[in-house]
Structure 1
């Protein structure tokens, strides 16, 4: 990406809409994106990497307010490293708890699949042969 990519290309690369990318910038999740001589946004590799991180944080359930807080801490510099670490440790604990919940949900689904599979086989076997 020698001169960066357009907002549309960046949106395609990270799987978000153009509207969402602009909203991320408006909300302070992304620093203002550099613009070309015509005033169009040009996303560089670092911008794309940052967006991918934000997408992961969001997909793991981090609230936007915490994502914004994280972005602010990064911009504030190294004096926020301990706070950033704490933010990620706490978020990791929430992710692990959600994984545990999902594993319990999956176990219930497996029980139902097994039960209905057995019932369907028994039903098929009880049908008269034609």
Structure 2
């Protein structure tokens, strides 16, 4: 028995064709396409981070649609910018809730963006310090060679 994946909500990332013209991918190919491990894909599904049930082949194996892959890429962006699993779970639930939750999704993403900008400024400050050390060492090396 196969289940179908619900249509992607309006705020889901724009679809990008998966290999072989948008066909659903088995878990190993989906892992490769998203840069996530097979274990992580199973965990995300089990932990309620997916927007809907992942389609299953008649054999019972998972089949990831292009929409699933787009969502996984968004989840990856959120994780890589510091959003917690709990916040992503909350965001996924809000997306599943549809248009009635748009204001809450907006607020959640605005707050995350604010935190990302704070972290970005912190990292840029560190980078400036590293660049200063590089300049110092370059001038010392240049002076020693002259």
Mark yes or no: TM-score above 0.5.
Answer: yes
CA shift for structure 1 position 124:
2.9
* Larger helix proportion of the pair: 1
- Report the CA distance between 1:2 and its aligned residue: 5.6
Which runs of no fewer than 5 residues in structure 1 stay unpaired?
A: 126-130
Secondary structure of 2:62 counterpart: coil
More strand by percentage: 2
Once the 2 structures are TM-superposed, how far is the Cα of residue 118 of structure 1 from its aligned partner? Answer: 1.0
Q: TM-score, normalised on structure 1?
A: 0.91
Give the number of the structure with larger relative contact order, counting CA–CA contacts within 8 Å between residues 6 or more apart.
2
- Which has more radius of gyration? 1
**What SS class does the counterpart of residue 81 from structure 1 fall into?**
helix
Partner of 2:8: none
Residues matched between the structures, number: 125
User: Helix, strand or coil: the match of 1:101?
Assistant: helix
Q: Work out the CA distance in 1 between the residues paired with 2:118 and 2:144.
A: 39
1:76-115 matches, cutoff 5 A: 76-115=97-136
Q: Report the aligned-residue RMSD.
A: 1.2
Q: Is the 8 A contact 2:23 2:66 kept in 1?
A: no
Structure 2: gaps spanning 5 or more residues: 1-20
Q: Which residue of 2 aligns with 1:15?
A: 35
C-alpha distance in 1, partners of 2:145/2:28? 53
* Structure 1 runs (4+) greater than 3 angstroms displaced: none
Match of 2:87 in 1: 66
